[in-house]
Structure 1
Amino acid sequence: MQIGIVGAGKIGATLARKLSATGHKVLIANSRGPETTEETAAAAGAVAAAAGEVVRRSQVVIVSIPFNAIPRLKNHFTEIDDSVVVIDTSNYFPFRDGNPEGLADSETESHWVSTQLGHPVVKAWNSILAGSLTTKGLPKGAVARIALPVSGDDVTSRETAMELVEATGFDAIDAGSLDESWRQEPGNPAYCTDLSAKDVELALQRANRTTATKKRDLLAERVFAARDRYTDEDILSLGRRIYNLAPDDDELCG
């Protein structure tokens, strides 16, 4: 499959490497031009290209850039075929992304992304830390395999995204339509807590939209205020406590 990745940061580069390793042809782009992505692409077994080319030539496009940068991509998506699967890995954090126009009127963050791109999206890989994505993928059936939720309105697109999540070393959980994608957004217990398939399903059920904003902002305030003092394991531990998923909680993190 021809896969395009727009965004060559930690998530995008890791996805490029993992998907290339499973036999997919991968194009990758950043905002500065292909000549600045060649080293990253070569290390990942991918090919550097301009963003427009990546979108135009791919059957699946993974958008892995900061939330507030997504509107800049709209022109690249105006002429792509309806069959192209577009996967959104982004998350909204007010301290970083401000107050994007139209977001307050959108049902979920990924509905807003769909509107900005003019193309339906599937939400995946947004709920895992870059470090966990890089180092914790395991073969299917492994006892300690982490699970990731995938949501989207088109069943075929959602299934394609789930297959790719599995290919990167994680159990894919069908999280339903895009209306339900808020359950995997920051501030909810399925977000960046490295849970098993059974526990992710429980976490999605326990998602609480009323408290999510407060918990999202609490996590962001603590982590981003002193990022250099937090390891990924510190962030996972903090998130589990904020989401009431402490190790002594027998229902989750078992």
Structure 2
Amino acid sequence: MTGSSPVIGILGTGRLGSVLARRAAAAGYEVLIAASGDPKRIAAAAEGSGTAIQATTAADAAARADIVVLALPLGKYRAIPVDALAGKLVIDAMNYWWEVDGFPDEFTDPLATSSELVRDHLPASRIVKAFNHMGYRDLADEARPAGAPGRKAIGIAGDDDRDLATVARVVDDFGFDPVIVGSLADGVRLEPGTEPFGADVDTQELREMIEHFPTSQRGIRRAAALAARRGSGSGSGSDDQSSQTSSLS
């Protein structure tokens, strides 16, 4: 990592990507922000934030950043550079949204999770899900210092304790309390169709919402699909994430 803080690359210059870039810059990180187009056309995303944010190409951001945040429409995930992100810590902030992404089977399958699709596309990267469930306006407006009354929480999910600790530190630096949901597969508890999705709540409320997953729209659909799979005799119940207890540390 460069200096005392990692360099953060943001792939995606939409509302979420721009907000996260500003949050990172405000926290003292060097930030690279990129989309698929000419950096000159995306420089506006860095305006008003001083020199801490640099507009660049996706390839350059992927190569130079220590941590890369994916803030693109999920439907573009196959265009994310695989080799450039090998060995990198990648924060997946994307969600399936039918109005943008359509209805491909890989997104509509109730047993699929978007971050696991990203992990499969980036097999040599370390994937942590974060910043996907809070609206961009709340991310922009609700950041508060550690320990401040009413500080809001961000859920994170991943398979490596060290990577989770790193992303938890980033979340904290951005002005939010990190709540570890569990494994990357447990990140389904933060996706559309669950109580946390779109929520702007504190740590205790977020934990309670995560525990309500089995009764959420997404949890019910997932349970029905798992029951159908068992009834057909294919697979096993070992991948039933809705029956697992989250690690809410």
Look up the equivalent residue of 2:193 and give its one-letter code: G
Aligned to 1:34: 39
2:110 and 2:95 map into 1 onto residues whose CA distance is 17
The verdict on how the C-alpha distance between 1:93 and 1:40 changes in structure 2, with shifts beyond 3 A counting, is: closer
Q: Which of 10, 13, 35 is residue 8 of structure 1 equivalent to? A: 13
Q: Which of 92, 97, 111 is residue 96 of structure 2 equivalent to? A: 92
Sequence identity (%):
29
Question: Post-superposition shift, 1:102?
Answer: 3.9
Aligned to 2:58: 51
What is the DSSP-based 3-state SS (H/G/I as helix, E as strand, rest coil) of the residue aligned with 2:182? coil
Return 5+ residue gaps in structure 1 as ranges: 216-254
Question: Post-superposition shift, 1:194?
Answer: 0.9
1:80 and 1:69 map into 2 onto residues whose CA distance is 16
Aligned length: 212
1:135 and 1:105 map into 2 onto residues whose CA distance is 33
Question: Post-superposition shift, 1:210?
Answer: 6.5
Instruction: Tell whether 2:72 aligns with 1:68.
Output: no
Question: Post-superposition shift, 1:81?
Answer: 4.2
The verdict on how the C-alpha distance between 1:214 and 1:107 changes in structure 2, with shifts beyond 3 A counting, is: closer
TM-score norm. by structure 2 comes to 0.79
The verdict on how the C-alpha distance between 1:79 and 1:52 changes in structure 2, with shifts beyond 3 A counting, is: closer
Look up the equivalent residue of 1:197 and give its one-letter code: T
**CA RMSD, aligned part only?**
2.1
The verdict on how the C-alpha distance between 1:69 and 1:122 changes in structure 2, with shifts beyond 3 A counting, is: same
Aligned to 1:77: 82
TM-score norm. by structure 1 comes to 0.77
Look up the equivalent residue of 2:32 and give its one-letter code: L
The verdict on how the C-alpha distance between 1:142 and 1:155 changes in structure 2, with shifts beyond 3 A counting, is: same
Query: More displaced, 37-46 or 206-215?
Result: 206-215
Mapped contact 1:68–1:100 kept (Cα < 8 A): no
Question: Post-superposition shift, 1:30?
Answer: 1.3
The verdict on how the C-alpha distance between 1:126 and 1:53 changes in structure 2, with shifts beyond 3 A counting, is: same
Instruction: Tell whether 2:185 aligns with 1:179.
Output: yes
The verdict on how the C-alpha distance between 1:37 and 1:161 changes in structure 2, with shifts beyond 3 A counting, is: same
Mapped contact 1:147–1:195 kept (Cα < 8 A): yes
1:9 and 1:211 map into 2 onto residues whose CA distance is 28
Question: Post-superposition shift, 1:131?
Answer: 0.7
Mapped contact 2:42–2:55 kept (Cα < 8 A): yes
Question: Post-superposition shift, 1:205?
Answer: 0.7
Q: Which digits, 9 at most, give the CA deviation of each residue in 1:152-185, with x for residues without a partner?
A: 1111111111111111111110111012110011
1:181 and 1:175 map into 2 onto residues whose CA distance is 7
